[in-house]
A and B are shown apart, each in its own frame.
Chain A
Amino acid sequence: MIGLGIRLALSGGRGAIVGLGLTSLAVAIGTAVLLFALSFAPALADRDARTAWRDNLRPTTDAVDATLVLRIEDRVDDQLLTRIHVAPDGDPAAAPVPAGLPSLPEVGEAYVSPALARLMGDLPSDQLADRIGRVAGSVPDAYLASPDELVAVIGTEPEVLRAREPYAVTAFETDALALELPLIGVLILALAAIGALAPVAVFVATATRLSAARREMRLAALRLVGATPGQIARLAVVEALVVTSIGSLAGIVLFLVSRPLVARIPLDATTWWISSISPPMAAAVVMLLAVQVVGAIAALASMRRLVITPLGVQRRAAPSRPAAWRIIPLGLSLAALAASVALFRDPGLSEVERVGMIGGAFAAVIGAIAFAGPWLTVVVGSVLHRVARGAAALLAARRLSDEPRGSFGAIAGVIMAVFVASAFFTFTAFARLQAGSDVDPLLREGGIMAYPTGGSSLPSGIAETVGELDGVIMAVEVRSVALLEDGEFATDYGWVASCPDLVEVLGLVGASCAADGVNLLGSADLGGTYDVIPATAPSAGTAPRLGVEIRPDPSRALLELPADTRAYVPAFLLDPSAFAEPAGVERLPADVLYVGTDGSAAVGERVRTAVVAAAPDATVRLESERVAADSQFAEIGRIVGLGLIGTLTLAGCSLAVAVTTATLERRRQFVLLRSAGMAVGTLRSMILLQAGVPLAAVAIASALLGALVGSGILFVTSGVLVLPDATVVIVIGLSIAVAMAVVAMTLPPLERMTRPTSLRHE
């Protein structure tokens, strides 16, 4: 029986082999997706374990021999550069050493990751190597998050670190912090997996139908010569197992082959070690077995719907014509979505509950679209029937009304992908609106700003050092200050900096500096004798102070700034010339450096290197990174985009298979029609109309719905009304075009198969 089943599954004609191949392919894709999903948590865990030595820092308070650690996220060449500055605290011989390194690097030396070593070789030393020091060795792979990670462990003077709030650690961990995927992450992952598997399931279903008619004939023939219903069921299970086992094996191969590509997709700005993308063996085995079981159960379930008699196959119940109430779940799920969005701000709900509700309602809308689809198809069919001229449109309209489920099934994948895409692109537009806020909006093109991280100040003379670099037009030190009047804080904080220089560096077109050096930026009302102290001073008592006398002047002009930057700007700007002793300004610590450059990438790196060499904890932001700042969003966008491409590809395949099936099922009819003189062109336009009309109608409807849902969610949660940008139109237009191209591709073989001479002994 098993042998017979295998032979029946494998030894079909060309059509059966194509059906078998497509179904196995779908199972393979599903298996690979599941293997990647299973590998996700282990890959994250592996990554965390590799970086535990620098992420899982446990500070000590005991005065024992420790190592001081200061971890800085720097950037170079548009990539993240993690600098880990270390110094012994106490006896150097007793200081703990980071995992994987032979010893602490000497001052001026560094251990670097291989990718960083390569980059240091590629860039001039004043752009990168001077930030790092002399290379003493490399950080081994086992301690890097990814093969292209840029990491340096840099030996630094203990005093330099002590001034910058370092960690003091007595041991470097090799175990990651217990990995805790937040529930939301699990939910999103689960939804993503379902989202990825849904088109696979649709594809399996359509691919199975491709050979169904023939299979049913074969089973009836078997029943005629005396196969019992039990034997038929066993045959069906064996055939399903042939498909799922071929598919699973192919899926494992697909997983292994695509692993290096998937490893290139960054998450958290970090790509992956190929070897760390491995599912847990036991879970993988269970999953692979589950695929077989599900395949067998699905085969048995599909048999239950058929009565296979020796004379042929009957369906248990003729499906009724889809009615208008099929639209009701869509309305209900939209209402549920609206309700869950309205509840979003309810403080009584946990974040998991909120996201769960919205996610659940969103999934329900997708399901409801699929449910309403057949009815929409009937509607489209009857509209087409009314306006139809000519045989092709008439035949297509009839088919749509008579077989709405099959006709919608063909395009369901594309429709669902379109819905998700349009909702997603609404979120994209929103995220783009929100992105870029962590770069000072005052920076103009080519602008750079630097500020210390650990509450320290920039070293004195930094503006001069930076000002001399190639490509730098001007560097201005800014001192954030507060004004004390009789020991009381007088106004909001303000700046002390050279006004003409700042106006130039920030490109404040049309702004002119006050003659007495006192410029108002906000609504401050200044006049009197003040003590100027650093804004960051922990207490007014010990801070350096500088006296200034400001003549009250109600007609004092405002220094105009671009409207959209005002929120980030202090109340006043005092030029050194406002002080009785301008040189005394140097006693106040500088805490921001604005640099104007010619905008080249090299000068950016040069400024970074110069600033970091003087102040290792300084953060340097480039105006050009405004774009890079939404890279995390770009990452998610890329992953979702890849998912959408995959979904649309599968949906296109489903569509091609379904169109072929539908035509083959009516092959005899078409052969006869063609023998009777129907033109090939009529067949061709009928097939195109049958797929294209409902596709375009329902896709546009679901795109509008998706955009509406996306905008609605965003409007309620953020108060911003966002409309999706042109990307939606492009994506949907492209999807429909690609889908129609796929349908067009099936035309030549279909024309061949419906040639009047093609029905030989079948």
Chain B
Amino acid sequence: MTTYLAAAPTPVERAAPAPILVATDLKKRFGRTEALRGIDVTIGRGEIVAVMGPSGSGKSTLLHCLAGILRPDAGTVELEGRRIDTLGETERSKLRRSSFGFVFQFGQLVPELTALENVALPLLLDGVSRSDAEARAADWFPSLGIEGLEHRRPGDMSGGQSQRVAVARALVTGPTVVFADEPTGSLDSLAGEQVMELLSAAVASSETTVVVVTHEARVAAYAHREIVVRDGRISGVVAA
């Protein structure tokens, strides 16, 4: 339990960016399953980090802990120097909608709402008026190539279109970090690459950090750095 490979900066890295998300000695268990057995990660501003590893190794659990969705059993998570793992449920919710964005494999769009409303949702929850929220949401549609789909419901869109709407929703609040868990998992390779293309282009201009869990090398290729998780521990870090 004491030996693990830290996510040490690698020589290939460009000028090391300022750390924005720092996790130390994260542990998390589900009943008898030890999903995380002590993980240290430091992620810098504007970085795109891919988390890879075999199925069941704890990738999603790590992501959820970093994003304040799950509370680790031990260890700390700091966002811009501030502990977030100790925050209450309400505080973490507010953090998620103001500082984080999410793109999951599927099921994260609200089926009752149109694409535009789905993208506007984090703003609405934050108290932005409906007209402002929808105007800001609408700005994202052209750049993600989903113009014209504003008033479709998730059920009436293709998987790739849905994922691009999810990307728009993740970016609409101007988050510090975007967390993506298998964002291309349900897409064919072309659609998957499009989504990654758009995501990385969108964050490039705004210094947004991206943490993406994937097992596709093609997706990982968009990352500056790859973290490999095995059995709840980090087993290696590879610079792109």
Contacts and interface: CB of A to CB of B under 8 A. Distances in A.
Interface of A: 3-4, 7-8, 11-13, 16, 214, 217-218, 221-231, 309-311, 760-762
A222 B96 contact: no
B125 A222 contact: yes
A226 B93 contact: yes
Given A7-B112, A309-B69, A311-B69, A229 B93 contact: yes
B125 A227 contact: yes
B108 interface: yes
Interface string B106-120: 111111110001000
Interface string B46-68: 00000000000000000010000
B130 A225 contact: no
Given A224-B102, A225-B125, A761-B157, A310 B111 contact: no
B94 A13 contact: no
A681 to B, nearest CB: 29
A231 B106 CA distance: 23
B97 interface: yes
A228 B89 contact: yes
Nearest to A760: B155
Nearest to A215: B112
A218 B169 contact: no
B31 to A, nearest CB: 13
A222 B69 CA distance: 13
B185 interface: no
Nearest to A309: B69
Contact of B112 (A12, A226, A228): A12
A509 B153 CA distance: 86
A228 B110 contact: no
Nearest to A16: B112
Contact of B96 (A13, A214, A310): A310
Contacts of B122: 225-226
Given A217-B107, A226-B98, A7 B69 contact: no
Contacts of B169: 225
A486 B113 CA distance: 104
Given A221-B107, A227-B97, A309-B69, 14 more contacts: A7-B113, A13-B153, A217-B107, A225-B96, A225-B102, A225-B125, A226-B93, A226-B100, A228-B89, A228-B93, A231-B93, A310-B96, A760-B155, A762-B155
A225 B121 contact: yes
A12 B157 CA distance: 16
| Interface range on chain B (Cβ under 8 Å from partner) | 35 or more
The 10 tightest CB contacts between A and B, nearest first, are A226-B97, A226-B96, A228-B93, A228-B90, A310-B69, A225-B122, A12-B112, A221-B110, A11-B112, A227-B125
B155 A221 contact: no
Nearest to A235: B125
Contacts of A12: 111-112
Most A CB atoms within 10 A — which of B94, B97, B159, B169? Answer: B97
Contacts of A229: 89-90, 93
A34 B94 CA distance: 43
A13 B112 contact: yes
B232 interface: no
Interface in B198-215: none
B155 A226 contact: no
B125 A226 contact: yes
A153 to B, nearest CB: 66
B94 A7 contact: no
Contacts of B121: 222, 225
Most B CB atoms within 10 A — which of A3, A12, A223, A310? Answer: A310
B149 to A, nearest CB: 13
Contact of B108 (A7, A221, A227, A762): A221
A2 to B, nearest CB: 11
A417 B95 CA distance: 52
Contacts of A223: 93
Nearest to B119: A225
Contacts of A226: 93-98, 100, 122, 125-126
A7 B162 contact: no
B112 A4 contact: no
A332 to B, nearest CB: 39
Contacts of A16: 112
Given A224-B69, A225-B121, A309-B69, A761 B155 contact: yes
Given A225-B122, A761-B162, A8 B112 contact: yes
A224 B94 contact: no
A355 to B, nearest CB: 50
Given A226-B125, A229-B90, A762-B155, A13 B111 contact: yes
Nearest to B64: A311
Contacts of A8: 110, 112-113
B145 to A, nearest CB: 18
A224 B89 CA distance: 12
A227 B162 CA distance: 21
A218 B107 CA distance: 9
A231 B158 CA distance: 30
Interface string B159-200: 100100000010000000000000000000000000000000
Nearest to B101: A225
B139 to A, nearest CB: 18
A13 B108 contact: no
Contacts of A222: 110, 121, 125
A615 B106 CA distance: 90
B124 interface: yes
B72 interface: no
A12 B102 CA distance: 23
Given A225-B102, A227-B125, A3 B130 contact: yes
B117 A7 contact: yes
B154 interface: yes
A312 to B, nearest CB: 9
Contacts of B102: 224-225, 310
A404 B112 CA distance: 31
Contacts of B113: 7-8, 11
A218 B110 contact: yes
Nearest to B89: A229
Contacts of A224: 69, 96, 102, 104, 108
A262 B119 CA distance: 51
6 contacts: A13-B112, A218-B112, A222-B110, A222-B125, A224-B108, A231-B93
